[in-house]
Amino acid sequence: MIVPNLKEAMKRSRENAKVQTINYILEENLKGIALGKHYFIKTYGCQMNEHDSENIKAILEELGFTEIDCMEEADFILLNTCAIRENAHNKVFGFLGRIKNIKEKRPDVIAGISGCMAQEEVVVNEILEKYNYIDLVFGTHNIHRLPQLIQSILNKRESQIEVFSKEGDIIENMPFKRDSKYKAWVNIMYGCDKFCTYCIVPYTRGKQRSRRKEAILSEVKSLKEQGYKEVTLLGQNVNAYGKDLEENYRMEDLLFDVSKTGIERIRFVTSHPWDFTDKMIDVISKCDNIMPYIHLPLQSGSNAILKRMGRRYTKEDYLNLFHKLKEKIPNVAITTDIIVGFPNETEEDFEETLQVVEMCKYDSAFTFIFSPRVGTPAANMEDTILKEVKEERLQRLNERINYYSKCANEAYKGKIVKVLIEGISEKDETKVMGYTETMKLVNVKADKEKIGSIINVKITDVKTWSMDGEEV
Ligand code: 5AD
Ligand code: SF4
């Protein structure tokens, strides 16, 4: 049993050379050990977690498992969890009741927890104390160890807990069962060293480690050969890509080289305003296949709050960058993340955030009420703001965000835009759906055969969250 340790997870060393790249290889004797068995995975959280689930699924299928939609019939149930806010936590603990019922009827079912919550010392302690029917807990640094862990459970019927608190090597050659045949996630870095005071990610995902450019470029080339149209370069703070590598090769260099592969669409998430360089802006503006869509988290518009959040920029720095992006990248769409109710956020602080929203008129935004996370500095800050006040601020903020989302969409009415058609529309089965270059969801009147192609679409109607259009 290897349980997580918060103190270990907080540590950072300067020994970059120690981060090695090793290749994942599945030992012959493990292939097919679960033939005939079924797995069910429920994924919470961000794109990184979605992509980890694609990795976990592929590993399970190498072991012989097949995926199943009905949890009640699965032999292995896995919750790949998120720790970013309390409600993500509560959802998982709420769901465990359903797994307990299944285990009572079918004790042989393997119940597992992975992902960011598995990295938290408090969570694993709670699982050990109160949820003893959980058979498997593995962390974000232990995915490549899944075959051995499953083998031990199948052979010994003994529960397995393996959570490395310290990030290890970069594992290459991992298999993925991708959700889409047209767009793919590509990890470019793991972990984060920014330590914003509210954020648990540096503890759950470890030190920043960039993948080697050769590995990233060969993955993108192979995806292109397989017919993929779009890649999204993934990392907690992609703009800091390469800072931990010995060679002088940064995000702008990577973007340029990925662009040269000729893949049709390139996106990247998430950007921290601190590391967004002029060189990056140059590359984005001159490469047609880098999409004009940037997610640029603001978090707060008050300098006092930004300072306490440890964000390393001021409102003025942020606005400068924002306007530079708008000016240099034609037709760019910019979205953001905002937290309200940070400890002792005053009405004036909040109004400054609203003012930035009025200035930036975001294409859309994810908005959250601050949620204290155990082990982070902000969780220990004094906070006298009432819950009702925070909720009311969130509502006021959302009202403005929605207003500007609709305004941004209005500008598309009557225009012809390129849409990568991904599948059947959820709203209307006679239509297909996809995203514009600027990441706007469009429901399109077009033939189903267009799924997987980039087509020209005339926008006929717009709503707050989506647009309607027809192929032209
Ligand atoms: N409470 C509320 N929101 C948070 N986020 C990160 N940590 C917290 C927290 N403790 C938000 C930030 C981040 C997004 C992914 O989640 O806005 O950009
Ligand atoms: Fe993703 Fe962060 Fe949630 Fe982990 S805690 S799943 S990195 S959003």
pLDDT (tens digit per residue) in 178-222: 999 999 999 999 999 999 999 999 999 989 999 999 999 999 999
Residue 322 Cβ < 6 Å to ligand 1 = no
- Report residue 79 as tokens: 């919750």
What pLDDT sits at residue 13? 67
- pLDDT score for 349: 98
Nearest CA to ligand 2 atom 3: 82
pLDDT tens string 150-159: 999 999 888 8
- Is residue 118 within 6 Å of ligand 2 at its C-beta? no
For residues 383 and 414, the answer to whether their CB atoms sit within 8 Å is no
Cα 200 to middle of ligand 1, angstroms: 9
* Residues 219-246 pLDDT 10s: 999 999 999 999 999 999 999 999 999 8
- Find the farthest-apart pair of alpha carbons in the chain and give their distance in angstroms, rounded: 64
Mean pLDDT is lowest, of 162-171, 189-198, 228-237, 417-426, for 162-171
Using most ligand atoms within 8 A of CB, pick from 196, 270, 339, 369 the residue to mutate for ligand 1.
339
State residue 18's pLDDT score.
Answer: 64
Our answer on whether the CB atom of 203 is closer than 6 Å to any ligand 1 atom is: no
Distance from the CA of 45 to the center of ligand 2, in angstroms? 6
Interior angle at CA 182, CA 427 and CA 284, nearest 5: 105
Closest-lying ligand 1 atom to the alpha carbon of residue 297: 18
Residue whose C-alpha is closest to residue 459's, from 424, 412, 419? 412
Which DSSP letter does residue 235 get? Answer: -
Q: pTM above 0.85? A: yes
Q: Which residues of 1-23 are buried (b: 16+ CB within 10 A; e: fewer)?
A: ebbbbeeebeeeeeeeeebeeee
> Which residue has the CA at smallest separation from atom 1 of ligand 2?
46
CA 315/CA 347 separation, integer angstroms:
17
Q: Could you tell me if the CB of 48 is within 6 A of ligand 2?
A: yes
For ligand 1, what atom is nearest to the CA of residue 378? 10
Q: 82 C-alpha vs ligand 2 centroid, how far in Å?
A: 5
Q: Which of 107, 108, 106, 83 is nearest to 93 (CA)?
A: 83
340 lines ligand 1 (CB under 6 A): no
CB 201 near ligand 2, within 6 Å: yes
